[in-house]
Amino acid sequence: MTNGLEDFSYEEVSTENSTHSEQAKKVLGHFIQGRIVSKTARKQPVYNPATGEISKEVEIADPQTVNEAVQVAEQAFPAWRDTPVIKRARVMFKFKQLLEQNAEKICALIGQEHGKISHDAQGELQRGIENVEYACGAPELLKGEYSKNVGPDIDSWSEFQPLGVVAGITPFNFPAMVALWMFPMALVCGNCFILKPSEKAPSVVLYLAELLKQAGLPDGVFNVVNGDKEAVDALLHHPRIQAVSFVGSTPIAEYIYRTATSTGKRCQALGGAKNHAIIMPDADIDNVVTSLLGAAFGSSGERCMALSVAVAIGDEVADVVIDKLTQEMKKLKFGNYADASNDFGPLITQAHKDKVQAYIQSAEQQGAKIVVDGRDAKPTGYEKGFFVGPTLIDQVTPNMTSYQQEIFGPVLQVMRVNTMQEAMQLINDHEYGNGTCIYTRDGEAARYFSSHIQVGMVGINVPLPVPVAYHSFGGWKRSLFGDLHAYGPDGVRFYTRRKTITQRWPSAQVREAKQFSMPTLN
């Protein structure tokens, strides 16, 4: 058995406790001070979710390992902070090229551990690369603000300085993209970074670390610590970590935000979602059905922007949509990541598969109608994989567990209401407020919807309104804890702090009088 990372150059230079035996090769370590290190006794299996088999193991960091990574980053910080911004940006330019040159390998690593089909992994990577491209504009983004003559011979300017050592904690479902939301911007702003990826899909960021090194990033500026809650807690309580960016489920996001801010850190913690699509009677129903298929079942529904609830205005709309969806869902293909003819892959773990099946069962028990049931679907040759087939549930009501909570699986629920106002009330009452979409041909209705809906990211005939890299990403309500959204302009603000300098060079001829009142320009 191989670990999928055979041709990483750093496997050859792997030191510390690692050996060249077959067994040692299957264990993923940490990336500290520019090389892979093996540190801890505690390990966790990493699965290939399509086959259900353990493909590798990953080391789980203890607080000493986290502390070592932070110390290394802190030592690297002064020189990196003082590196001219154009040189920091040049590392990102090179990194972007390397990401593109090695896209196939990156997508394979995503597929092996997450199960995402190759075309979907390419989309994930491309979205990540766009964040690198935005970060390449750092010299422009960090120019600051300047005002001449704010008083007699007085000039004032604001500059945006790095914070120091910052940390990112990422989820399993976008192993490359969400990490790329964070560290490229943090690094070009002059910070050093510790990344704690999901222990369920850890290989990709170890490979990204290697590419950053190849791009010319000095050792110690970017470090990866693999682990679980123990490593996360060590980061949250570490006195030298200045800021924490988190993406994951809402209960953990809330915990991260509370803990990080209570220890004086800046924090943005993005959580879970329940994304509704309103289908108006005037919508182009064939287009709606096509776009709902991808938005609900793409990536097996394991996207925080997945459309998981279709709210039909009127029974007539609901019946037509369900009928057409049922026909189209029969054609969907799911299976292993390497077969690009598949539409989507498996769920991440057996435990998650059990949870998704339990949500479907609970909907049935609470009175919903299972129109298409994917609970027992098994692609041929992958019977032990963590698959759930596309599932369609009708007659869903707000009191149902499957509606109140995030399922994070290939399950589309249909709700029936009579008016757009009723549909908007449903969305506004939900505890999550990540994404939403309205399908309509009515500009006035769409404009009203986008102005009044209590959700952070809104689509008008766009099912997955994930903002591009030069805007910022974030939900409302319990989908985001913190003040700033992720990446884009908010990312620049999150990874820097403003310093405002007011300057006067007094003339030898003009001496100032004593002044005890607040200085003004009256």
Q: How far is the CB of 181 from ligand NAD (least distance, A)?
A: 8
Q: How far is the CB of 176 from ligand NAD (least distance, A)?
A: 12
Name which of residues 389 to 428 contact ligand NAD (CB under 6 A). 406, 408
The verdict on 252 binding ligand NAD (CB under 6 A) reads yes
Q: Do 307 and 86 meet the contact criterion of CB atoms below 8 Å apart?
A: no
The verdict on 472 binding ligand NAD (CB under 6 A) reads no
Q: How far is the CB of 520 from ligand NAD (least distance, A)?
A: 45
**Phi then psi for 284, rounded to 5 degrees?**
-80, 100
- The DSSP bridge pattern shows strands 43-48 and 165-169 to be unpaired
Q: Which stretch binds ligand NAD (CB under 6 A): 12-20, 194-202, 422-430, 438-446?
A: 194-202
Q: How far is the CB of 286 from ligand NAD (least distance, A)?
A: 29
Q: Which stretch binds ligand NAD (CB under 6 A): 70-78, 119-127, 243-251, 444-452?
A: 243-251
Q: Do 95 and 131 meet the contact criterion of CB atoms below 8 Å apart?
A: no
Nearer to ligand NAD, 267 or 318 (CB): 267
Report the amino acid identity of residue 39.
K
Give the one residue of 65, 131, 198, 496 binding ligand NAD; rule: CB under 6 A: 198
Residue ranges of the alpha helices (H) in 246-349?
250-262, 285-297, 315-329
**Phi then psi for 160, rounded to 5 degrees?**
-115, 105
* CB neighbour list of residue 109: distance below 8 Å, 6 or more residues apart: 4, 5, 175, 203, 204, 207
Q: Which stretch binds ligand NAD (CB under 6 A): 66-74, 208-216, 270-278, 393-401?
A: 270-278
* Distances, alpha carbon 39 to alpha carbons 28, 29, 36, 43, 299, in Å: 10, 7, 10, 10, 34
The verdict on 228 binding ligand NAD (CB under 6 A) reads yes
The verdict on 191 binding ligand NAD (CB under 6 A) reads no
Nearer to ligand NAD, 186 or 313 (CB): 186
* CB neighbour list of residue 272: distance below 8 Å, 6 or more residues apart: 249, 250, 253, 304, 406, 408, 432, 434, 478, 479
Q: Do 295 and 306 meet the contact criterion of CB atoms below 8 Å apart?
A: yes
> In terms of C-beta density within 10 A (0-12 exposed, 13-18 middle, 19 or more buried), how is residue 378 classed?
middle
Report the alpha-carbon distance of residue 52 to residue 382 in Å, rounded. 8
The verdict on 267 binding ligand NAD (CB under 6 A) reads no
Give the one residue of 160, 172, 193, 222 binding ligand NAD; rule: CB under 6 A: 172
> In terms of C-beta density within 10 A (0-12 exposed, 13-18 middle, 19 or more buried), how is residue 219 classed?
middle
* CB neighbour list of residue 500: distance below 8 Å, 6 or more residues apart: 156, 157, 158
Nearer to ligand NAD, 271 or 385 (CB): 271
The verdict on 304 binding ligand NAD (CB under 6 A) reads yes
Nearer to ligand NAD, 203 or 479 (CB): 479
The verdict on 270 binding ligand NAD (CB under 6 A) reads yes
Catalytic (active site) residue 136: no
The verdict on 248 binding ligand NAD (CB under 6 A) reads yes
Q: Which stretch binds ligand NAD (CB under 6 A): 1-9, 171-179, 308-316, 376-384?
A: 171-179
Report the alpha-carbon distance of residue 191 to residue 93 in Å, rounded. 17
Q: How far is the CB of 192 from ligand NAD (least distance, A)?
A: 19
Name which of residues 199 to 218 contact ligand NAD (CB under 6 A). 199
Q: Do 394 and 369 meet the contact criterion of CB atoms below 8 Å apart?
A: yes
- SS3 annotation, 358-423: HHHHHHHHCCCEEEECCCCCCCCCCCCCCCCCCEEEECCCCCCHHHHCCCCCCEEEEEEECCHHHH
Give the one residue of 55, 223, 479, 496 binding ligand NAD; rule: CB under 6 A: 479
The verdict on 170 binding ligand NAD (CB under 6 A) reads yes
Q: Which stretch binds ligand NAD (CB under 6 A): 85-93, 192-200, 394-402, 418-426?
A: 192-200
Give the residue nearest to ligand NAD (CB). 248
Q: How far is the CB of 42 from ligand NAD (least distance, A)?
A: 14
Which candidate in 107, 136, 189, 304 is catalytic? 304
Report the alpha-carbon distance of residue 317 to residue 201 in Å, rounded. 40
Please work out the total of residues on this chain that contact ligand NAD, with binding judged by CB under 6 A.
Answer: 27
Degrees (nearest 5) of the Cα angle 467, 472, 475? Answer: 80
Nearer to ligand NAD, 3 or 198 (CB): 198
* Total residue count of the chain as it appears in this document: 522
Nearer to ligand NAD, 171 or 346 (CB): 171
- Give the residue numbers annotated as catalytic, written as ranges: 304
Catalog residues that contact ligand NAD under the rule CB under 6 A. Answer: 169-174, 178, 196, 198-199, 228-229, 232, 247-249, 252, 270-273, 304, 406, 408, 434, 475, 479
